[in-house]
Structure 1
Amino acid sequence: MEARHLRYALALAEHQHFGRAAASLGIAQPPLSTQIAALEREIGERLFDRTARGVFPTAAGEAFLARARSALAEMNLARIDAGRAARGETGRLRIGFLGSALLAPLPGVIGRFRRTHPDVRLTLQELDSPAASAALLAGELDVAVGRGSPRGAGAEDLVTVPIGADHLVAVVSTMHPFAGRPSVGVEQLTREPLVVSADAAGTYLRPLFEADAAVLDAATIARDIHTIAGLAACCAGVGLGPARMRLLARDDVWFCDVEPRFRLPDLQMSFRVTDSSPVLAAFLAVVRQNCADVGSWLDELLARHPAATERQPPLGVS
């Protein structure tokens, strides 16, 4: 039994005449009669009464037709669902991210992706950069957003692209002597208690304080930028973090540039080079459209990835 047999039976029940049913199906009457007879032999029951007044379903036919309608509807839904999955409109995407990325650029990226792909199951997990990289390498994430490139066994099998540059700023309470200043020097920071994130203290701030590394060893370790700003507001120390912290809506802190200007490792987005998921392809298209400021290199690198080459528009095309 094939889908066409179901359509033939439904057309015959609707038109109650072999000729009219055949015309609606675009086939000749004899093949339709032959196929209906073959269907009845396969079912083992007479599905239609042939009378002078027309062709009408039997009780067995009515039962069969009810199931046939449901089966064809399910087949159509299966076709639709397959197409949506192939276009990345359904499925799952697991993203691990550094908290500061929620200031920029993730709100634009994730917000747009949710609007354009509402049926994708999006799992979001805040993780520091090392943890996000480890989860991606372990197959527990599809996308990791962190500061700097992932490291460790398997990192060579990842695609990593920059999605945001930033530099270091200091945040203090509005009662602190630094409040009101546009900038503060590194030598001044060495005389203050500091509040930093764990990865900043352990890695990328080390070169800045290489002449006085002890200041980082004594720093208060905060989980994220909100905690850094909060502790600074409590006069617990001078917070150090990315300039995008200025986007925090707080009136009890003051931000100073750090002199000399210190560029932080770029925010990086990483994913597996072998991941050809249509959902990832759809997400990469949104990244392209929202992170164009990182230059054409991002578009060129993503365009070489198997998930992004077939269905996605070029940069800037929605």
Structure 2
Amino acid sequence: MSTPPADRGSTTVAERAVRRIAERAATEALAPGEVRVHRGSAAVRGRRARVGVAVTLPYPAVLDEAGERVRSHVADRTAGLTGLAVPSARVRVRELRVRERAEGTGTLAPKEASQEVPGGGRARRPWSQRRLPVAVLAFVGAALCGLFLYDVVSVHAAGRSPARWRTRLMEWLATHGPDSGAWPGAAIAAAVFLLGVVLLVVAVTPGRRRLLPVAGPDAGIHAVIDRSSVASLLRDAVAEVPGVTRVRVRVGRRRARVRAGLGFGSPATARRAVADTARETLAACGLARPLRLKVRVRTEPAWRAPAPSAAKSTPVAAGSMPRSADEPTP
């Protein structure tokens, strides 16, 4: 009597194999070498699978068309090779690679972005134009100069007497100067001095402290990224580390601080995983000046220690000895 096919057994495709297939399929979606896969994910539930890949696409290219080609190819190829139903694939474009013309041909080839700007220099922060402060200062200065000019022209051209406010102002300044010993003159002089220092600092500093320069592939390309965007990337990447339940990220101009809460697992292992993931994410951002990373992992109040090994969980009873294979069973 033969066994029915349904009762002969089942074939299970591991999530790791599905992830590897999806990553391989993403590299085949466009021309060879144009798609670069950073990380893939897969979740298998019965006969259905959900896959996702983070990729680097060539530039220039129409992102929606290139992303749709990668998504459809990954879904179809994974379903065909695994036999699972893959409704769709999630594609995340993490960065772009600029194409350069190959020597002797008219084709464009992808070029890796370097961390340093060509010429040996470093990418600098964008210089803030500070349009609003300059406009306010120019308006106030122009109004005061126009008021004084009107009074002087009216005195010399029309023969009118000086304005009373200008006469009183000149008399007050003559009697309350910095050398007169009166505190109002000294206070005004100190305020003018501090205002000059502030204007000098504003003039020689770039501003835009929320932006971080990105190393461009060409000297004519200047790219920046907001610090909040870097913090979001770090937060999303660290949140995927097993055992991490809470993530707080703070990105400054020179350093990045990551604080993670651990719900289960070994704290030392989790800290290494969080540090490695954060370093990989910062490296993928392509910053012109790498940030100093500081990682802190703390256990949550409901933290569970890792399960003991099998050898420790089944101790040998007192007074019992392991039985030899040749010894007869009583």
Pick the TM interval, shorter chain: under 0.3
Higher helix share: 1
Q: How does the TM-score come out when normalised to structure 1? A: 0.22
Q: How does the TM-score come out when normalised to structure 2? A: 0.21
Higher relative contact order (CA 8 A, sep 6+): 1
